[in-house]
Amino acid sequence: MTNSAPIDLRSDTVTRPDDRMRAAMAAAEVGDDVLDRDPTMRALEERVADLLGTASALWVPSGTMGNLIALMLHLQRGDRFLAPHGAHVLNHELGSAAWLAGGMPDPLDWDAGPGRPTAEAVRAQARITTAYDALHTTLLCLENTHNGAGGAIVPPHEHAQLAAAAKELGLKVHLDGARLWNASAALGVPPKALTVGVDSVQVCLSKGLGAPVGSVLAGEAEFITAGRRVRKMLGGGVRQGGVVAAAGLAALDRIDSLGEDHDNARLLADGLAERGWQVATPQTNMLLAAVPDVQLTLQRLTSVGVLAVPMSGQVRFVLHRDVSEADVEEALRRIGQAGI
């Protein structure tokens, strides 16, 4: 990176496929995935199912579609579903949970910490009743890591308690695990330790792991068979999908290196704190900074070639594989020099 090039900390989706990934894509064995499955797609889906501890899995073009397919299968029109306040399904998916899946969203407070509701909150808010005019609460939608809370981790024991509470209440559990890999790497536990008790889970290959496109929805075999039909209905069936599945397989080789992004997030947070910024200690690859005027700060950062985005009323910086430790130091130098 030259001295003046912008340092892009807007998201971990800005990564570009490297030569190794492009070579894997070019060499991929392919078939027609809609007609009778593509062999590389199949290999990717089996590997992800294995990592997540589910029977089956389905590649989808985006995390948004993965979440939508799950919600469409779990919800009947008018059902209430619970999700942590600020969840991606509530705030960043165009209302598709209501618009297309027909769900009535009911946000859960973060009473256990940033991005983390307690099992007691789930019990209280499910409001299970036999009253004839009551909503039916049928789904708990969790998010790990929680994006709006700055990449906050739900630890395995809390996750298990939440899933167990949902089961007692007769609710299905969907996990939006767009960045489950980051939680797994930060905790040093396998991804399947974080999917205990879920009926479905969605994971992204196009965030920290650096694939150009793709997410995977995982669950029981019957659920995935039904999901394949809904994916087709939504226009998400792809033909020679092996080309992008090969990128997904290369991406999965990188789970262990996510810790470098977490180290860089801490380096940036420490450097900003030294310069007087109010930053929460990052748990994974992102950090939120509280500033008096978010838009003004973002403009000033852009003018010195440091790109960030607004999130939850704060400035969000995301570390990823295309930003090195030296880039973080350079970003801090630019911020310091401009007195931001």
Ligand X SMILES: *Cc1c(COP(=O)(O)O)cnc(C)c1O
CA 215 – CA 227 distance, rounded (Å):
13
Closest approach of Cβ 39 to ligand X, in Å?
Answer: 24
Residues contacting ligand X: total by CB under 6 A: 12
Q: In angstroms, what is the minimal distance from the CB of 128 to ligand X?
A: 27
- Residue 178 interacts with ligand X (CB under 6 A)? yes
- Kindly state whether residue 244 participates in binding ligand X, applying the rule CB under 6 A: no
Query: Tokens standing for 207?
Result: 């965030």
**Which residues, numbered 219-238, are part of the site for ligand X (CB under 6 A)?**
none
Find the part of the chain contacting ligand X (CB under 6 A) among 62-70, 106-114, 124-132, 187-195: 62-70
Q: Does 204 bind ligand X (CB under 6 A)?
A: yes
Strand pairing category for 215-219 and 56-60: antiparallel
Q: Of the two residues 37 and 92, which places its CB atom closer to ligand X in the complex?
A: 92
Residues 96-155 that bind ligand X (CB under 6 A): 143, 147
Sign of the Cα pseudo-torsion (8, 10, 11, 17, in order): negative
Site membership for ligand X, residue 68 (CB under 6 A): no
User: What φ, ψ does residue 53 adopt, rounded to 5°?
Assistant: 70, 30
- Which one, of 328, 279, 307, 266, lies nearest residue 114 by Cα? 279
Q: Does 176 bind ligand X (CB under 6 A)?
A: yes
If binding is defined by CB under 6 A, does position 261 make contact with ligand X? no
Stretch that binds ligand X, among 59-67, 190-198, 218-226, 240-248 (CB under 6 A): 59-67
Under DSSP, the state recorded for 6 is -
Determine contact, residues 308/331, Cβ cutoff 8 Å.
Answer: no
* Token output for 125: 């808010």
Told to check if 52 binds ligand X by CB under 6 A, we report: no
Q: How far is the CB of 143 from ligand X (least distance, A)?
A: 5
- Selected from 62, 91, 96, 125, the binder of ligand X by CB under 6 A is 62
Triad 137, 64, 167: Cα angle to 5°: 30
- The reply on whether position 12 binds ligand X by CB under 6 A is no
Question: Minimal CB distance to ligand X: which residue?
Answer: 63
Under rule CB under 6 A, residue 241 binds ligand X: no
Tell me the closest approach of the beta carbon of residue 50 to ligand X, in angstroms: 22
Q: What is the DSSP string of 34-69?
A: TTT--HHHHHHHHHHHHHHT-SEEEEES-HHHHHHH
Question: Quick check: 159 binds ligand X (CB under 6 A)?
Answer: no
Q: Which residues contact 203 (CB under 8 A, 6 or more apart)?
A: 48, 52, 66, 177, 178, 180, 181, 191, 215, 216, 218
Question: For ligand X, which is the closer residue by CB, 231 or 334?
Answer: 231
Q: How far apart are CA 285 and CA 108, in angstroms?
A: 24
Residue 256 per-residue DSSP state: G
Give the residue with the Cβ less far from ligand X, 255 or 332.
255
Point out which residues bind ligand X (CB under 6 A).
62-64, 67, 88, 143, 147, 176, 178, 204, 206, 215
